[in-house]
Structure 1
């Protein structure tokens, strides 16, 4: 399969209009909602079916989610990545490997979630190795925060899961505290509320990097109560 040329027209940037093209969905910052009618994830321009939708935020180069898409063809997978260069890497993987059940959304995750994910529309959510922003003054930039968790509570179906993976122990503790503050979520793992160094979760650039450096990998998974 020939990989389509990756090109986002300047008009999408200039007019702040989202754009759907060739298994990619570009969402500019502060986009004009009045100028764009989202067709829905089951539309032929996107997945074209109503299979369960799983989303990975901060997908990087897409190695983890591309492998999951190959292993689970009856699930729709959405990679959310803000950086255009990394989004292009995912786009290329989709077409080179013929992954019809994977789409990349290039844009800011929280704004895109509010705009395009109806209540109870997701079955599973993943955040793998998010930037821990270790300096205190930068902590506000962490993706796993009360506002994000509240939004995940809205978009997940009853019984749906959110899985968080990190090598940063302070961030792990903060994840447990932040999600645990919502009584609607229950940890799948008993205290201390994580699985250490999971072997069958799937690989990625950061997973390989931190394992090679001897770091402990912590996997947290929380389910929305029935």
Structure 2
């Protein structure tokens, strides 16, 4: 006799699990590919979500929102959500089974301020945030994204000018009532080439101000932040430091009209 299928969880009702994702519906783990091509046809269309999904995903939708792009298993964001009940945390990840497992763990822990979505942020960020309350979005993190080392694959990197523009528009819309300085973007990578590229896109956009020494944040000779301003390291960050590696970080706010950037060099 075929075992009865478990009813879908709230997270699975908002975003059904993939048909081929063993481990997404049931408890346990599932092996997933480390690399997923974000340019594949299935990821080329914006994510379709149920109406008012945001108010269903979070216990208190009115709380300030933090979005983390590329969360992998979501453990970093889970630590933040556990330590800070004053904000909502939304994790975006392209590997669907990891997302459903992360949502299962969040539900088991009773985290009403934590939710994950499977999507390609490059094409779905605006759609994801469309149902969030106006002014809710406060911070966006992009950390240790896939470096795609081969030259022909560089176009698959998640941080590019269109994504930077989407982040800017989302934060600008959220800051329409003022307090632009409270809208922040944090980027970091252990691959210097990727870090330099990400920083160049945000520096060259014109709508962001990179924070540094003049803002009370210590920078090294190349202008990278010495300390993680979030205060909670990711699993990748811990692994890099355990191997004696380096991490390259930058923190931005929206640039206030008429003011020049005061970042460190």
TM-score, normalised to structure 2, is: 0.69
1:193 Cα deviation (Å)?
3.3
Quote the residue 1:71 is aligned against: 83
Quote the residue 2:184 is aligned against: 161
1:85 Cα deviation (Å)?
2.0
How do 1:113-132 residues align onto structure 2 when only pairs under 5 Å count? Answer: 113-118=125-130, 121-132=136-147
Q: Could you say if the C-alpha distance between residues 48 and 142 of structure 1 is closer, same or farther in structure 2, counting changes exceeding 3 Å?
A: same
Quote the residue 1:38 is aligned against: 51
Number of aligned residue pairs? 207
Separation (CA, whole Å) in 1 of partners of 2:86 and 2:211: 24
Q: Could you say if the C-alpha distance between residues 115 and 5 of structure 1 is closer, same or farther in structure 2, counting changes exceeding 3 Å?
A: closer
2:147 alignment partner, SS class: coil
Indicate if the aligned counterparts of 2:63 and 2:87 stay in contact, CA closer than 8 A: yes
- Segments of 5+ residues of structure 1 without an aligned counterpart are 15-27
> 2:151 aligned with 1:151, yes or no?
no
RMSD over aligned Cα atoms? 2.9
Indicate if the aligned counterparts of 1:121 and 1:155 stay in contact, CA closer than 8 A: no
Q: Could you say if the C-alpha distance between residues 47 and 62 of structure 1 is closer, same or farther in structure 2, counting changes exceeding 3 Å?
A: same
1:54 Cα deviation (Å)?
0.6
Listed one character per residue, the Cα deviations across residues 5-46 of structure 1 (whole Å, up to 9, x for unaligned) are 6695898869xxxxxxxxxxxxx843685xx653163x2454
Indicate if the aligned counterparts of 1:187 and 1:222 stay in contact, CA closer than 8 A: yes
1:81 Cα deviation (Å)?
1.0
Q: Could you say if the C-alpha distance between residues 55 and 37 of structure 1 is closer, same or farther in structure 2, counting changes exceeding 3 Å?
A: same
1:199 Cα deviation (Å)?
8.5
Separation (CA, whole Å) in 2 of partners of 1:98 and 1:63: 15
> 2:186 aligned with 1:173, yes or no?
no
Quote the residue 1:198 is aligned against: 228
Separation (CA, whole Å) in 2 of partners of 1:185 and 1:11: 36
Quote the residue 1:101 is aligned against: 113
Listed one character per residue, the Cα deviations across residues 79-105 of structure 1 (whole Å, up to 9, x for unaligned) are 111111211331132023211100111
Indicate if the aligned counterparts of 2:58 and 2:112 stay in contact, CA closer than 8 A: no
Quote the residue 1:55 is aligned against: 67
2:148 alignment partner, SS class: coil
Q: Could you say if the C-alpha distance between residues 107 and 101 of structure 1 is closer, same or farther in structure 2, counting changes exceeding 3 Å?
A: same
- Segments of 5+ residues of structure 2 without an aligned counterpart are 1-6, 20-41, 214-218, 257-265
1:67 Cα deviation (Å)?
0.6
Listed one character per residue, the Cα deviations across residues 134-191 of structure 1 (whole Å, up to 9, x for unaligned) are 2211111111110110000000133311101100111111112111001110101257
